[in-house]
Amino acid sequence: MRKIVILTGAGISAESGLGTFRDAGGVWSQYDLAEVATPEGFARNPALVHDFYNARRANALAAHPNAAHEALVRLERDWPGQVVLVTQNIDDLHERAGHRHVIHMHGELARALCAACGAHWPAPEKMSASDPCPECGTRATRPDIVWFGEMPYDMDLIQRHIDSADLFAAIGTSGQVFPAAGFVMQANAAGAETVELNLEPSELSGMFDIRREGPATRVVPAWVNDLLASA
């Protein structure tokens, strides 16, 4: 039975009230990406970066999964083949909707990382650089987030999944951030059918075989219903 690989972006959490990055009024229009989402920015001003992610962690905790997250849970549960979910998002709405396996390629607000020894642990609601690492005791705590210029997590695993996908779907992503934006080209080269579900055309729309346009809470459940009806 067909293997489905799904990539989600900020658009799937938009209707849960979490901001996207590049839409009007998006996160990157309010903050300077270089200041809050790069290692250099963290080195310059760790308190500013922790304030930025502490605020986003609070927003994410106050948000709730929406019908799009829930539809993907149904697909993972009821699809007779393998379903692999890769997300660029750092919120935990997929998990809170009940999704069992989520690959967070850009890290997670829910985890902390020691910049000295690489240890990971569950993030406190409010994190600070002076929190001591539970493993090595160093006070070099950072959010476990992949910043610009850093290697995303699980890239080898993700590439293997895409190479063996029969269907690749990108949901709610503008296709402007690499290497995630390159996944559809890899899926096409691997012979997968590719579908884009988005509120509006993205940078990569021309790379997809099929497009379903509209808000995720409408187009994702409809897409999942059609898939399960065809299973």
Rounded distance between C-alpha atoms, residue 208 and residue 196, angstroms: 6
Query: Which listed range, 77-85, 117-125, 141-149, 161-169, lies at the site for ligand BV8 (CB under 6 A)?
Result: 141-149
Q: Kindly report the number of other CB atoms within 10 A of residue 197's CB atom.
A: 27
Options 94, 99, 106, 161, the catalytic residue = 106
- Binding track, positions 156-195, relative to ligand BV8; x by CB under 6 A: ----------------xxx-xxxx----------------
Angle at alpha carbon of residue 169, lines to 98 and 173, rounded to 5°: 85
| Nearest CA-CA partner of 66 in 215, 189, 209 | 215
Are 8 and 174 spatial neighbours (Cβ–Cβ below 8 Å)? no
Nearer to ligand BV8, 84 or 180 (CB): 180
Question: Does 1 interact with ligand BV8 (rule: CB under 6 A)?
Answer: no
Nearer to ligand BV8, 11 or 221 (CB): 11
Question: Does 26 interact with ligand BV8 (rule: CB under 6 A)?
Answer: yes
* Active-site residue, 106 included: yes
Question: Does 146 interact with ligand BV8 (rule: CB under 6 A)?
Answer: yes
Are 144 and 107 spatial neighbours (Cβ–Cβ below 8 Å)? yes
Helix segments in 16-131, DSSP class H: 27-30, 33-36, 39-44, 46-62, 67-78, 93-97
Active site members? 106
Binding site for ligand BV8 (CB under 6 A): 9-11, 14-15, 20-23, 26, 37, 88-90, 106, 145-152, 172-174, 176-179, 198-200, 202, 215-216
